[in-house]
C-alpha cells in the first residue's frame, strides 16, 4: 500500500493529476509521515510538552493496540518492556507478530488504546511529537532516496549542515568512497529519475543521514534481502558506528545481529513471550529457539 503511494507520487501514475494525488495522500491521516518514515526522513507533527533532550530510556507499559481499520484484531496485547539508555535490543518474532507496530507506536504514528509508551519516564502522549522524532532516527529495510543530489539526501538528517559535516557523516557511514567514484560526486542526482544506487549503497546513505541527525534512539529494520559479502560488511561496520552510545531497537533477521544484542525481545501474536540473551533463550527452548532454527539460522 505504502509502496503504491510512493510509486504514485514519484511516477505520477494513473490515479489522477498531481494535486489530486497530493490531496488524497493528505487525506490519509499519517500517510505522509509514514512515507517519510519509509524513506528514513524526519517527520512533521503537532505540539505538546517540549523535549529539549532525549536521555535514551524507552519503555512500553502494558501497551494494548489495534489498528483503527480492524477493531476486532488485537495487534499488541499488553506489551511491557524497558530499555536503558545506550542498550541494544533485538526485536524478533514471526511475520505479523507486531514488530513494525512497536516502531509505529514509538514514532507516535498511532497511540496505544491502553497503556503507555514512555521516553525517559515521560508519557509520549504528552510530549511534542515533532521534537521527539528529532531524537529518533529510522533506518528502514528498503531505503528510498528522494529525487535530488546525494548531498541533499544526506543533509536531510540535519537541514543546514555544512558540506564538511555531510562528508564526515558519509565517511563514518562507509559511503564516501563510492560517492567520490561518481563523476558528479556528492552532486550526483539520485532517486526515481536519477542514478540507481544499489541496496547497500542506499542503506549507507540512510546511515549517513542518521549519523548527521545524531539521534539518541535508533530504530533499524534489518534488510531481509541478502547483500553481497563486501556490501554487507560495509553496511554492518557503518551500523556499528551509528549504534555506539545510542539506544537501538533492531528488527532482526540475522543470527549475527541477535547475538550482539544486549537483550532479545521475542514477540508472538502481539505478546512479548520471552526476553533474554541468545544463550538464555536457546537454553529456555521456547519460541526463540524455534525461530532460530526456522528463520534466523
Q: Which is nearer to ligand ATP, 173 or 258 (CB)?
A: 258
Cα 41–Cα 42–Cα 46 angle in degrees, nearest 5:
145
Least gap, CB of 56 to ligand ATP (angstroms): 23
Judged by CB under 6 A, the number of residues near ligand ATP is 12
Least gap, CB of 234 to ligand ATP (angstroms): 25
Read off φ and ψ for residue 61, nearest 5 degrees: -120, 105
Q: Which is nearer to ligand ATP, 26 or 162 (CB)?
A: 26
Binds ligand ATP (CB under 6 A): choice among 8, 101, 149, 248: 101
Query: β-strands 88-92, 247-251: how paired?
Result: parallel
Q: Give, as ranges, the residues between 30 and 89 that touch ligand ATP (CB under 6 A).
A: 67, 69-70, 75
Q: Which is nearer to ligand ATP, 14 or 69 (CB)?
A: 69
d(CA 125, CA 52): 16
Q: Which is nearer to ligand ATP, 150 or 251 (CB)?
A: 251
Terminal CA-CA length for the chain: 30
Binds ligand ATP (CB under 6 A): choice among 95, 164, 225, 294: 95
Of 92-100, 197-205, 208-216, 254-262, which segment contacts ligand ATP by CB under 6 A?
92-100
Contacts for 18 with CB less than 8 Å, ≥ 6 apart: 12
Contacts for 276 with CB less than 8 Å, ≥ 6 apart: 263, 264, 284
Least gap, CB of 93 to ligand ATP (angstroms): 5
Q: Does 100 interact with ligand ATP (rule: CB under 6 A)?
A: yes
Q: How many CB atoms lie within 10 A of CB 191?
A: 19
Contacts for 131 with CB less than 8 Å, ≥ 6 apart: 50, 51, 52
Question: Exposed e or buried b for every residue in 278-288, given b needs 16+ CB within 10 A?
Answer: beebeeeeebb
Least gap, CB of 6 to ligand ATP (angstroms): 15
Q: Which is nearer to ligand ATP, 100 or 116 (CB)?
A: 100
Least gap, CB of 130 to ligand ATP (angstroms): 22
Q: Does 98 interact with ligand ATP (rule: CB under 6 A)?
A: yes
Least gap, CB of 104 to ligand ATP (angstroms): 7
d(CA 140, CA 122): 26
d(CA 141, CA 216): 20
Cβ contact 137:145 at 8 Å: no
Binds ligand ATP (CB under 6 A): choice among 16, 96, 147, 245: 96
Q: Does 108 interact with ligand ATP (rule: CB under 6 A)?
A: no
Least gap, CB of 60 to ligand ATP (angstroms): 14
User: Where does this chain bind ligand ATP (CB under 6 A)?
Assistant: 67, 69-70, 75, 93, 95-101
Amino acid at each position: 500500500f505504502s509502496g503504491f503511494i510512493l510509486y504514485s507520487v514519484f511516477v505520477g501514475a494513473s490515479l489522477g493529476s498531481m494535486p489530486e494525488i497530493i490531496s488524497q495522500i493528505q487525506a490519509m491521516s499519517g500517510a505522509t509521515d509514514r512515507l517519510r518514515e519509509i524513506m528514513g526522513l524526519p517527520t512533521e507533527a503537532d505540539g505538546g510538552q517540549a523535549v529539549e533532550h532525549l536521555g535514551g530510556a524507552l519503555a512500553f507499559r502494558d501497551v494494548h493496540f489495534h489498528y483503527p481499520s480492524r477493531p476486532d484484531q488485537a495487534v499488541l496485547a499488553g506489551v511491557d518492556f524497558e530499555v536503558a539508555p545506550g542498550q541494544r535490543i533485538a526485536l524478533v518474532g514471526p511475520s505479523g507478530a507486531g514488530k513494525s507496530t512497536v516502531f509505529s507506536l514509538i514514532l507516535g504514528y498511532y497511540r496505544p488504546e491502553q497503556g503507555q509508551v514512555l521516553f525517559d519516564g515521560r508519557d509520549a502522549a504528552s510530549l511534542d511529537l515533532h521534537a521527539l522524532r528529532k531524537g529518533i532516527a529510522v533506518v528502514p529495510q528498503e531505503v528510498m532516496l528522494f529525487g535530488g543530489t546525494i548531498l541533499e539526501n544526506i543533509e536531510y538528517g540535519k537541514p543546514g549542515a555544512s558540506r564538511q559535516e555531510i562528508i564526515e557523516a558519509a565517511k563514518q557511514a562507509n559511503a564516501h568512497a563510492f560517492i567520490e567514484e561518481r563523476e558528479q560526486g556528492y552532486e550526483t542526482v539520485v532517486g526515481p529519475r536519477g542514478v540507481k544506487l544499489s541496496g547497500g549503497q542506499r542503506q549507507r546513505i540512510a546511515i549517513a543521514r542518521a549519523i548527521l541527525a545524531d539521534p539518541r534512539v535508533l530504530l533499524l529494520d534489518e534488510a531481509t534481502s541478502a547483500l553481497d559479502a563486501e556490501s554487507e560488511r560495509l553496511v554492518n561496520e557503518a551500523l556499528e558506528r551509528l549504534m555506539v552510545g545510542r539506544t537501538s531497537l533492531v528488527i532482526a533477521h540475522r543470527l549475527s545481529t541477535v547475538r550482539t544484542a544486549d537483550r532479545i525481545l521475542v514477540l508472538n501474536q502481539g505478546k512479548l513471550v520471552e526476553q533474554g540473551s541468545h544463550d538464555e533463550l536457546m537454553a529456555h527452548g521456547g519460541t526463540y529457539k524455534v525461530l532460530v532454527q526456522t528463520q534466523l539460522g
